[in-house]
Amino acid sequence: MDGARRSTDASDEQEPKRPCLAVAGGRNGGAGGAGGSDAGDDDSHGDAGGDGGDAGGGGGVGHAADDPPPTLSTLGDDVLRAILSRLESSRQTVRMCVLSRSWRHLWRSVPSIHIDRREFGSDHELQSFTDFLLDHHNNLVLLDAFRLLLSSQDLRLPASDWVRRVINQDDTPPHQLKRLHLCNVHLDMDFASHISDDRCPSLEDVRLENCSYLTARYEITSFSLKKLVVDGLYMVQDDESDDDEDEIFKLIIRAPALVSLRLAGELDHIVDINEPHTMPSLVDASVHLPVMTDEELNNVEENDATAHQSVLGVLLNVTTLTLSHCRLLFQPEDSVELQLLVFQNLRTLFLDECYIVGEDFVGLKPYLQKSPNLEKLILRCSKVQPGYSLNWYFGDDLVDFMCENLMLTQIIYQHDDDAAPLLVAFLLSISRSLPNNKIELIRVE
């Protein structure tokens, strides 16, 4: 068993690269542009550059000796818009535009809008600002990023309208939106179709946190989407519906270019396990379930076991898989055919506070058996659930298996963690199946 791994500092082995100067401005170099006394005033550039002599000395690229040094006010509008779009919020963008008269209207054409409730003193203030911003933006179709972060769904009606204005303008050309981040937003029934290829053909990154939906079946279809986060799924009943209870939310993903996927929520509505999903390019996936109480752990039903395996079946092609607060492996009843599928491409498996069923973590063994190319296993604060015997169900299938590519197992534990020694003992007991595995213990507070 190895201790903590050593890291090699690349600076000890090779000479660091010298920085490359994009613009040479004479003896005062880049200090001239940043040293102005009033760089934001377009009428007066002051003595920001100091002595501009010898500006072109040494063959560098610079301004003429009699020309003033460049300042923020002399930058082109496209460059300024690119700078403003990188600010953390649109409120900061608007405030920056008052620094110079020539910047006064730049906020109208900045290609990103970022609204964060934490920056406003009241919902009324946020609503007034956002309404004004969207009303006076030059062209919402040209936005490449839209982020709307609310602290609750108290503004769900105006928030829904803001989202529709950004991504649903049927009389306009397709949107250039690439990044969409919504938190605590009430999404209408047509939202999924509005972010499809017809309306947003360039969309690459979508993050939906604690959003509510008016339909039980959401199908996200996009040929450009590369990263998707759907965190905290739940259903809001349609006011016109006669049903007494909300339907169970089901997510369907058809995104052939999707590389990264994060799903978080209740197991029974995290994805639709009865519909085919299209994610052939998926590399990194994570599933995060709510923390279960002891009572919930002891009352897991048969259909939960099936749902768990079906969710994993959607992610068979991934090379990196993270499971958080999941229960591995459910006790199968005679009527349940519980068969783990093979993760042929899986290289890294991260189990974060997972409940591993079986005496002394034996429930982990089937997952190692079904991951023949696994190279790295990370177990953080794992919990064992004794009382179940899996050998009667799997028989000799768990006796002889090889996981020769597993090189490292990291066990992350706390100082009062009684499960860590049991986990080490279990891994050592199957060392014949893990001939190249090294165990690393990492203690955290």
How open is the CA angle 106-112-113, to the nearest 5 degrees? 95
Which of 240-254, 268-282, 369-383, 407-421 is predicted with the least confidence, judged by mean pLDDT?
240-254
Is 13 inside any structural domain? no
Residue 381 has pLDDT above 60, yes or no: yes
Reading the block at residue 284, the tokens are 């990194």
| pLDDT, tens only, 205-257 | 999 998 887 777 788 999 999 999 998 766 655 554 445 455 666 788 999 99
Question: What torsion, rounded to 10 degrees, do the Cα atoms 180, 183, 184, 186 define?
Answer: 10
pLDDT in tens, 53-97: 343 344 444 455 566 666 666 667 677 777 777 777 788 777 777
Distance CA 264, CA 418 (A): 28
What value does the mean pLDDT take over residues 99-122?
Answer: 84
Distance between CA atoms of residues 110 and 86, nearest Å: 10
Same structural domain, 132 and 267: yes
- pLDDT of residue 49 exceeding 50, the answer is no
Same domain, 82 and 118: no
Confidence at residue 258, expressed as pLDDT on a 0 to 100 scale? 97
Residue 212 in domain: yes
Picking from 110, 134, 155, the residue at the C-terminal end of a domain is 110
| Tens-digit pLDDT profile for residues 397-418 | 445 678 999 999 999 999 888 8
Give alpha helix (H) positions in 100-178: 123-136, 156-167
Q: Is residue 169 part of a domain?
A: yes
Average pLDDT for the chain = 75
Rounded CA-CA distance 247/106 in Å is 46
- For 287, 290, 291, 345, the CA distances from 325, given in Å and listed in that order, are 9, 7, 6, 23
φ and ψ of 300, to 5 deg: -70, 130
Q: What is the pTM of this model?
A: 0.75
Pair 373, 424 in one domain: yes
Indicate whether 437 and 288 sit together in one domain.
Answer: yes
Range 413-439 average pLDDT: 90
In a domain, 413, yes or no: yes
- Residues 147, 172 share a domain: yes
Range of the domain at 103: 73-110
Alpha-carbon separation of residue 102 from 18, 41, 42, 98, 257 (angstroms): 37, 8, 7, 9, 42
Task: Check whether residue 146 and residue 105 sit in a common domain.
Answer: no
Same domain, 184 and 201: yes
In this structure, is residue 9 part of a structural domain?
no
Number of domains in the chain: 3
Domain membership of residue 231 (yes or no) is: yes
Q: Is the pLDDT of residue 122 over 70?
A: yes
Whether 125 and 201 share a structural domain? yes
Residue 68: what pLDDT?
A: 66
Least confident of 20-29, 118-127, 140-149, 190-199: 20-29
Same domain, 205 and 331: no
Residues 358 and 340 in one domain: yes
Looking at the structure, tell me whether residues 321 and 189 fall in a common domain.
no
- Domain co-membership, 123 together with 98: no
In a domain, 438, yes or no: yes
Q: What pLDDT shows up at residue 304? A: 62
pLDDT band with cut points at 50, 70 and 90 for residue 11: very low
Lowest model confidence (mean pLDDT) among 190-199, 283-292, 392-401: 392-401
- 61 inside domain: no
The whole-number pLDDT of residue 282 equals 96
